[in-house]
């Protein structure tokens, strides 16, 4: 359509208003699901990065001097970036959730703990630590946190796949709804299509009219859906920050550039999906007439 | 496939060979129709209401294919054309529908210019021509009104303007003067004759208005019971030749 020309399809009616709402709602849900998928991926990386390369050595029945000597021994192991003997206060703090703030029972046998950090790219040094301590005669247990990190990764990987599945499902639903709506619009405007057809309009020309209409509808509805999703996420972040996130267990919620990119892309994808669905539907319908 | 007779094939603008038409399981609306119209001819199609005039016209303006037989336009069998070729052929045809079929959201001017937009012409190229045409059919003052604000006769004239705006090779009109007064009817008929005379447009007009048909001494094809017969011009009436092959009979 050239500038200033009236569209050959009439302006949107009540049916398109309903479709606008449905597509907008689907885009809102899809944007939220995409953000969920992205943030679970980010959370998994943050959580596992914190514990990967970290080892905790517990020494049973070790005197303070022995623990210090073991720490120095660990620092000499190849691949170790740093090793530090945890103080009794730090150990008490770790056990506080279990024993409370009044301190540990005097008769509780508490192991000495050495926090070890592997050098970047050192790989798994757990075995080397165990062998070195065994050879030196220490009764030590080395915990690489790998089981816990693996669990976290598996759980968040599943959550991410579910979220991506929801995105795909919502996108398919939106496309199906738009295809159905296009077909209904085509039937409702059969008279116009017939006149254009008999006037010599090619199928591509007629399909182009519907493609433009539904591209704009998808783009506008997608924009509204994405903006509502942005507002929802911003509200969630504000609530999370006001509650303090004191445990430090959950990763901090943020809205970064990739999140904004998801919100910008959502309406474009919605518009493209609407355009393609409309084009295919119209071309198929026109094939049924001479 | 229907065997085409080569003797009349090349010279016919419109040709139907053993054409039948039936809708679903109903009986035949058209039965074994043979028709050949020379380029630049002017013909009437008559028949009682429900005789199949509109159905026959649909075949001619390529709105639907025949059930059997072949429809050829401008020397080309339409059954062998691709969809794009059919679209290109439709652009050579102007159609005046009995029920006008104007687009309600467009003005009279935009409706009349519709085939030109479909052809991809720029408005600057056609604006003056379309305005002149609408002025000629008496809509110079109302060309920016929408159809709903126009009378039946005015809508009819917009529909006619839309059909002739591209100066088509074939003009098909279904009861084109059904909603206008006799004076405007005569004026519109003169437009059709003008197109036929000046541009060599092949014109076929379906009408049950025998008064209109009798005014113009042109071949009349009559549809009855699904069969098409050609009537000879009525004898015994004085006529004057216009020099364009069409005779307009004197009023009795």
Q: Is the pLDDT of residue B84 over 70?
A: yes
Chosen for mutation from B62, B70, B77, B105 (greatest number of chain A CBs closer than 10 Å) is B105
What is the pTM for the complete model shown? 0.72
CATH fold group of domain A53-144:
Alpha-Beta Plaits (3.30.70)
- Buried residues in B99-120 as b, exposed as e (16+ CB within 10 A): ebbbbebbbbbbbbbbbbbbee
**Which whole number is the average pLDDT over A47-71?**
82
In this predicted structure, what is the pLDDT of residue B11?
A: 67
SS3 A149: helix
SS3 B19: strand
Plot region of B24 (φ>0 → left; ψ -120 to 50 → alpha; else → beta) = left
Q: How far A185 CA sits from the closest chain B CA (Å)?
A: 15
In this predicted structure, what is the pLDDT of residue A251?
A: 57
Least confident of A79-88, A152-161, A186-195: A152-161
Does A194 sit within 8 Å of B87, measured CB to CB? Answer: no
In B9-123, at which residue ranges do the beta strands (DSSP E only) sit? 14-22, 28-37, 42-47, 68-73, 76-77, 93-96
**What string of H, E and C letters represents the secondary structure of A97-118?**
HHHCCCCCCCCCCCCEEEEEEE
Kindly state whether B84 is in contact with chain A, defined as any CB-CB distance less than 8 angstroms.
Answer: yes
Kindly state whether A237 is in contact with chain B, defined as any CB-CB distance less than 8 angstroms.
Answer: no
* A142-164 pLDDT per residue, tens: 887 777 777 877 887 887 788 78
In sequence order, what DSSP letters do the residues of A228-268 get, joined into one string? Answer: HHHHHHHHHHHHHHHH--TTS-SPPP---HHHHHHHHHHHH
Q: Is the pLDDT of residue B143 over 50?
A: yes
Q: Supply the ipTM of this predicted assembly.
A: 0.84
Q: With pLDDT > 70 as the criterion, what percentage of chain B qualifies?
A: 87
From-to residues of CATH 3.30.70.100 in chain A? 53-144
* B32-81 pLDDT per residue, tens: 999 999 999 999 999 888 888 989 999 999 999 999 999 999 999 999 99
Interface of A with B in 198-227 (CB under 8 A): 198-203, 205
Q: Classify strands B93-96 and B170-174 as parallel, antiparallel or unpaired.
A: parallel
């Amino acid at each position: 359509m050239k500038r200033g020309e009236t569209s050959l399809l009439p302006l949107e009616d009540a049916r398109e208003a309903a479709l606008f709402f449905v597509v907008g709602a689907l885009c809102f849900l899809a944007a939220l699901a995409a953000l969920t998928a992205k943030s679970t991926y980010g959370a998994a990386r943050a959580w596992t990065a914190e514990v990967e390369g970290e080892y905790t050595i517990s020494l049973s029945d070790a005197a303070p001097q022995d623990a210090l000597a073991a720490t120095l021994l660990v620092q000499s192991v190849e691949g170790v970036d740093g090793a530090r003997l945890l103080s009794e206060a730090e150990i008490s703090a770790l056990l506080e959730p279990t024993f409370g703030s009044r301190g540990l029972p005097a008769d509780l046998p508490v192991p000495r703990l050495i926090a070890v950090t592997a050098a970047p790219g050192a790989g798994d040094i757990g075995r080397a630590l165990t062998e070195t301590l065994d050879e030196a005669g220490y009764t030590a247990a080395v915990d690489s946190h790998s089981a816990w990190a693996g669990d976290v990764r598996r759980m968040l990987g599943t959550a991410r796949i579910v979220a991506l599945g929801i995105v795909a499902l919502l996108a398919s639903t939106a496309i199906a709804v738009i295809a159905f709506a296009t077909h209904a619009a085509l039937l409702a405007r059969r008279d116009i299509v017939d006149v254009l057809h008999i006037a010599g309009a090619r199928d591509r020309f007629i399909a182009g009219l519907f493609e433009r209409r539904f591209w704009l509808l998808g783009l506008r509805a997608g924009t509204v859906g994405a903006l509502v999703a942005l507002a929802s996420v911003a509200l969630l972040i504000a609530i999370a920050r006001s509650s303090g996130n004191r445990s430090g267990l959950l990763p901090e919620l943020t809205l970064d550039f990739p999140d904004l990119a998801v919100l910008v892309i959502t309406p474009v994808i919605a518009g493209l999906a609407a355009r393609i669905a409309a084009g295919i539907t119209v071309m198929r319908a026109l094939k049924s007439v001479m | 496939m229907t065997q085409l007779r080569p003797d009349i094939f090349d010279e016919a603008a419109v040709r139907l060979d053993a054409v039948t038409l039936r809708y679903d399981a109903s009986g035949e609306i058209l039965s074994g129709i043979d028709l050949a119209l020379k380029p630049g001819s002017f013909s009437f199609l008559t028949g009682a209401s429900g005789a199949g005039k509109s159905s026959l016209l649909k075949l001619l303006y390529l709105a639907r294919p025949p059930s059997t037989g072949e429809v050829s336009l401008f020397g080309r069998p339409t059954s062998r054309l691709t969809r794009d070729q059919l679209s290109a052929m439709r652009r050579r045809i102007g159609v005046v529908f009995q029920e006008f079929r104007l687009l309600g959201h467009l003005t009279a001017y935009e409706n009349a210019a519709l085939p030109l937009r479909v052809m991809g012409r720029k408005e600057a190229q056609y604006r003056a021509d379309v305005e002149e045409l609408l002025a000629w059919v008496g809509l110079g003052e109302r060309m920016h009104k929408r159809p709903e604000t126009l009378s039946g006769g005015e809508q009819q004239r917009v529909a006619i303007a839309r059909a002739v705006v591209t100066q088509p090779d074939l003009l098909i009109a279904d009861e084109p003067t059904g909603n206008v007064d006799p004076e405007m009817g005569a004026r519109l008929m003169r437009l059709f004759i003008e197109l036929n005379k000046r541009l060599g447009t092949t014109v076929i007009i379906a009408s049950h208005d025998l008064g209109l048909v009798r005014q113009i001494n042109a071949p009349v094809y009559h549809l009855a019971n699904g069969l098409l017969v050609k009537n000879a011009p009525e004898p015994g009436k004085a006529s004057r030749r216009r020099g364009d092959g069409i005779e307009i009979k004197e009023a009795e």
